A and B are shown apart, each in its own frame.
Chain A
Amino acid sequence: MTNTSVKRKQELKLALGLVLPALIIMAAVNLYPLIYSFVISLRDYDFHGDKSYPFCGLENYIYIFEDVRFWRSLGITLIFTAGAVTLEIGLALMCALALNRKFRGQGALRVIALLPWAIPPVVNGILWKWILNPRYGALNGLLMQLGVIDEYIVWLGSPSLAMLMVILTDVWKETPFIMLLLLAALQSVPSYLYDAAKIDGAGAFRTFKEVTLALIRPALFVALSLRTIWALKSFDLIYALTQGGPSNSTEVLGYYTYQKSFVSLHMGRGAAAAYIMTFIVLLIVIFYQKAVYQDVEY
């Protein structure tokens, strides 16, 4: 064995030794719960039962698939995700393009734009609960003063309006993060490519499509994937703002899972619902990877 290979082996062992504690902790806090919750999903883990929690195979999964409320929650989740992510990506792209230009106060504006993202989700939910209050909410007050409405609107009172409000609340909070990602990507686009496009006679739209959009595609993929995953497993905002109401119209999958676990106290069904949700997220990310992600060369 040569000296170099012995040294490499030693380095590898040292590296392994150094990351081992972190690996053990990660396994304890991530892997173990993941495996244990899967085991729970295969048992009749009902706190109202006799506490023997017998193995029941795929019964919990079958129950979830046969539950009308699950399918309704899935539909609501998809509407929420599609609405929120589309608006967030669109708005974030516009904001990033605007903030990518040089102007006075650009730095300050970037910091201010990031503020909503710094607010914890539950605080965001409570904040908006009061903004949307049907009798004392700031939104009604503002619209009334501007003459846009002549009667206060019960924003969270009807299913469609409540869903729209939940989406807008999510957009308000999450857009800055996407904007930050896209802004970073925009700043890495070499300026000579724009010069070349100009020389080639490309118009503004074509330059945007062929240069800007093409080059920020990997960042877009990351943003789209992350936001979709987060939106699909949304819980805190719904919990704080509507608790799934009115008439279960904002009951997303995350909230449905919570209901099964902490209201019905059937941890087995809750775990099964969580695993189904994870599988759906996985499918969508694979789809994104195939549809959106492409290596860019220039």
Chain B
Amino acid sequence: MKRALLIVLVLMVVAFGVYAGGTAEKETESVVLRALIRPDEGGNVQKYADIFEAETGIRVEVDFVGWAEIHDKSISTLSAGGGGYDIIFVPSANVVEFTSVGDFEALNNMISSGEKADWLQPVLDLYTREGDLVAMPWYSGGAHMVYNKEILDKAGVDPEKIVTWNDFKDACKKIKAAELLKYVYTPTAKYPGNFYYAWGSMVASSGESFFDAAGKPVFDKGSAVLDSLKLVSEGTKEGLFDPAAIAMDDYEALIQFGSGDTAFMMNSTWSATQAYRNADLSKVTGKVGYMLIPGWKSEPRSGGFLYAGGLGILKSSRYKEEAKQFLTLLTSADAQKHHAIEGANLPTRVALFEDKEIDSSWAGYKALTAQLSYGSFLPQYSWFEEWRQATSGVVQKTIAGNITPEKAFDLILENARKAQ
């Protein structure tokens, strides 16, 4: 009996020893960097990981986690002390969250003060927390207004003349009157994230802020929040905007626009590009035009929300210097150029905005980059996500006509106070 127990125990110890020994052996053999990144950037990461391995002998193992899960996976990983990862993808929407949960290495020495001017300043600012650069700016993007040239031509609408949201609404009326479409535009509102490319960007295009530096609501002093609520409410009531927007997300809006069922689409850089060049998602390829997002006044022109992707190194990483080497390569001008051409992501290095190679391979590149100079990033407060969640429900109710824009405004203000 005792022998049987002893055998079980010995087997367990041997199994553990083999596993531990195997791991230790592997670790002494070569340095392996582990990264947690979303698969959308897979091609770019893989290419430069291979180059990096060929140059340094350091292997980069990447866990690609989809957009829907990467936030939760990152939070769990960071809260558990890093989970053995060296590099973590940090989306612009989650900089505060991620840096609150995890400990990131300061990357200040990766961009010297003399080099700072080479990088997109708002993105650098976004990834700088309490004076430290917490992630290397990798790519950028934002909300864009896209239109179907053919429909606008037929309706006699000149996109150059659409400067304000009132102009936009008039253009929608003209298209509707020409009986070319059932609905002209879809202000997506299914998920809180749709805030980026619909109602939220309408507000941001005013140049007004939702909150001040201390996080106190200041939108009640301006008119953009109420004006934007009125626009989505009235536009839907008048049959210009699709009421199904309440149940549609960015991707579904891309499919709708790509099917030629709407004349305008406000969406991400990626979606704006796919509408033009991806025949699997769009039947209107080649008929797509880009314009600046309308504002609430003629001048100064403003813009919607911007986004960015950064790559941070965890303090728990055993190979910080090697990870820095890899990030230097992955955020180099060459890698960003590849990322822009292949992945439809805008760069974070200023010089690349004038790059002829990207411009010639990416239709509308100039128009899309022009939008970046007008946009702004989401406010960075710890409670912002909670407020955005609550606000999305209010916007849905407004589009559905269940509450008035005035009532919605009060609720959004109340939510802001509660969230804090």
Contacts and interface: CB of A to CB of B under 8 A. Distances in A.
A259 B97 CA distance: 14
Interface string A110-141: 00000000000000000000001111100000
B393 A21 contact: no
Interface in A1-52: 10, 13-14, 17-18, 20-21, 47-48
Given A14-B4, A47-B97, A246-B400, A134 B191 contact: no
B389 A259 contact: yes
Contacts of B394: 247
B256 interface: yes
A47 B72 CA distance: 13
Given A10-B1, A154-B246, A135 B256 contact: yes
Contacts of A158: 400
Contacts of B392: 245
Contacts of A267: 79
Contacts of A17: 4-5, 8
Contacts of A247: 393-394, 396-397, 400, 402
Interface in A166-190: none
A267 B392 CA distance: 23
Interface string B263-287: 0000000000000000000000000
Nearest to A153: B244
B244 A245 contact: no
Contacts of B259: 136
A262 interface: yes
Nearest to A267: B79
B14 to A, nearest CB: 13
B247 A47 contact: no
A245 B393 contact: yes
A48 B386 CA distance: 13
Given A17-B8, A247-B393, A267-B79, A136 B255 contact: yes
A138 to B, nearest CB: 14
Interface in B215-248: 242-244, 246-248
A290 B344 CA distance: 61
A18 B4 CA distance: 9
A248 B5 CA distance: 55
B243 A157 contact: yes
Nearest to B389: A263
B382 interface: yes
Interface string A205-227: 00000000000000000000000
B100 interface: yes
Contacts of A289: none
A132 B252 CA distance: 12
Most chain A CB inside 10 Å of its own CB: which residue of B192, B246, B383: B246
B400 A265 contact: no
Given A17-B4, A157-B400, 18 more contacts: A14-B4, A14-B5, A20-B8, A47-B101, A48-B100, A48-B382, A135-B248, A136-B252, A154-B244, A157-B243, A243-B190, A243-B191, A245-B393, A245-B396, A246-B246, A247-B394, A247-B397, A265-B97
Please provide the 7 A-B residue pairs with the shortest distance between their CB atoms, ordered closest to farther. A134-B244, A156-B247, A48-B382, A10-B1, A17-B5, A247-B393, A157-B247
